[in-house]
Amino acid sequence: MGNRVVVTGLGIVSPLGLDVPSTWQGLVSGRSGVDYITLFDPEPLETRFAAEVKNFHPTQYLEHKEARRSDRFVHFAVAASLEAVKQAGLKIDASNAEEIGVIIGAGFGGLNILLSQFQVLLEKGPDRISPFLTPMMISDMAAGLVAILLGAKGPNFCITSSCASGSDAIGVSFEIISRGDAQAMIAGGTEAQINPLTVAAFNAARAISTRNHEPQKASRPFDAERDGFVLAEGAAILILESLPFAIKRGAPILAEVVGYGATGDAYHITQPAEGAEGGARAMRIALKKAGLEPREIDYINAHGTSTPLNDKHETIALKTVFGDDACRIPVSSTKSMLGHLLGAAGAIEAVICVLTIQHGIIPPTINLTHPDPECDLDYVPNVARQAKVDVTLTNSFGFGGHNSTLILRRYTET
């Protein structure tokens, strides 16, 4: 048995708010964070809406010079990390810096700065390229800058596993603490990919919704009229600590991480494996590590992207793992309100699981008005539900066949 790993702090930057309380309020009220794109002119594109982070000013979290030298995905990660560290009351100094690490997942990294600097190259030539392009562009810079700002000298890297990146960052951090290689980890995911190239690329792949006439209703997981996911941006961070470390410093214990499963489909670059066997294996691995039976899960936060294939296959995987209990356990997709945060999706959904345990409220799956007959579980349609939730499971599945499952439960001393 390794160290028990607890959650002591949470941070969020999302399309529903710039912190945890505002995001949570938006979720339980069933509010959509999706609207028409304002970050650039989307008129030439097939899809002209997304779930943007609004009214975000990086200089509220970083000095002006540092903000100019870092990409939007890094800004989000810094803001969420500062909120999480503050809630945890985590003070990093010479006595503990080497025992505290940072892992922040990202699917794309600084694509925005890459696009703008490529335009500079074309229009003004190579001599005008910013010397900060490389550090602004690379995916690991979110973890790097957070560590620099906070002084965390433990394990530090970025995990990129497409839409499972944030979940894997938390899972790997959980394992690092469990085996004693760190006492605390700042873990999560970040993404900022609402730009013309990304939207056009997902349009070309027929992956995102084109419901331009009613964007707030475009993300509709498990609904028969779903036509693709909705691109979103933001970040989410959890402070994970070994139980003895958290108790010694009197940290607030919000939940416990008890299981993590990661698998690969080895099947297709975008489609889930037949029968969703990879996702089912990830859930079974997480349950086994947690020492739990499927019937002990009280709530499932689904990957639930609102794409035709994912929602059907995830439903199959849940039935495979949970059997008769699959119809009893509430399942919801918060992507119906937040959109799909790509590399940050798994992290924000892990935070939501902690909040569900804390508040006893299950967020709904909104826009579920025409249930798909092939998706026939209890998806908590349209209205939040009060329930005592002790154990949660959350899934993240990514392009390339990456499957990641986390299990979090209410903390008890035994």
Residue 253 lies in a domain: no
CATH number of the domain bearing residue 317:
3.40.47.10
Domain count, the chain: 2
- 165 and 210 fall within a common domain: yes
pLDDT at 210: 98
**In terms of domains, do 97 and 164 share one?**
yes
**168, 288: one domain:** no
Cα 318 to Cα 88, 154, 268, 325: the distances in Å are 33, 36, 20, 9
Q: What is the pTM of this model?
A: 0.97
Task: Evaluate whether residue 255 is within a structural domain.
Answer: no
What is the pLDDT confidence band of residue 274, given thresholds at 50, 70 and 90? Answer: confident
Domain boundary among 186, 215, 248: 248
Tell me whether residue 402 is one of the annotated catalytic residues: no
Average pLDDT score over residue span 353-362: 98
- What DSSP state is assigned to residue 333? -
Mean confidence (pLDDT) of the chain: 97
Q: Dihedral of the CA atoms 67, 69, 73, 78 (nearest 10)?
A: -50
**Could you tell me if 95 and 221 lie in one domain?**
yes
Identify the active-site residue in 163, 313, 375, 402. 163
Residue 304 belongs to a domain: yes
pLDDT confidence tier of residue 375, bands split at 50, 70 and 90:
very high
The residue from 75, 303, 313, 402 that is catalytic is 303
Same domain, 399 and 292: yes
Q: What is the pLDDT of residue 363?
A: 98
Residue 221 within a domain: yes
Co-location of 67 and 206 in the same domain? yes
Pair 351, 255: CB distance under 8 Å: no
pLDDT digits (tens, 9 = 90+) for 193-243: 999 999 999 999 999 999 999 999 999 999 999 999 999 999 999 999 999
Per the CB < 8 A criterion, the answer to whether 76 and 109 are in contact is no
Residue 170: the pLDDT is 98
Is position 336 within any domain? Answer: yes
Q: Give me the residues paired with residue 397 across strands.
A: 403
Query: Is residue 298 located within the same domain as residue 167?
Result: no
Radius of gyration of the chain (CA): 20
Establish whether 268 is a catalytic residue: no
> What's the pLDDT band for 77 if we cut at 50, 70, 90?
very high
Burial classification of residue 308, based on how many CB atoms lie within 10 Å of its CB (0-12 exposed, 13-18 middle, 19 or more buried): middle
- The residue segments making up the domain with residue 202 are 5-248
Compute the distance between CA of residue 301 and CA of residue 309 in angstroms, rounded to an integer.
18
pLDDT tens across 8-53, in order?
999 999 999 999 999 999 999 999 999 999 999 999 999 999 999 9
From 275, 266, 242, 272, select the one nearest 256 (Cα to Cα). Answer: 242
Determine whether 163 is an active site residue: yes
Are both 227 and 160 inside the same structural domain?
A: yes
Task: Tell which wins on pLDDT, 1 or 183.
Answer: 183
CB 201 within 8 A of CB 32: no
Cβ atoms of residues 402 and 283 within 8 Å? no
Does the residue 414 lie in any domain? no
Q: What is the pLDDT of residue 252?
A: 97
Query: What share of the chain has pLDDT > 90, as a percent?
Result: 96
- Give the residue from 317, 337, 304 showing the smallest Cα distance to 228: 304
Confidence of residue 271 (pLDDT cuts 50, 70, 90): confident
Instruction: Say which of 75, 158, 313, 340 is annotated catalytic.
Output: 340
Q: Which residue stretches of 256-406 are H helix?
A: 277-290, 308-322, 335-338, 345-359
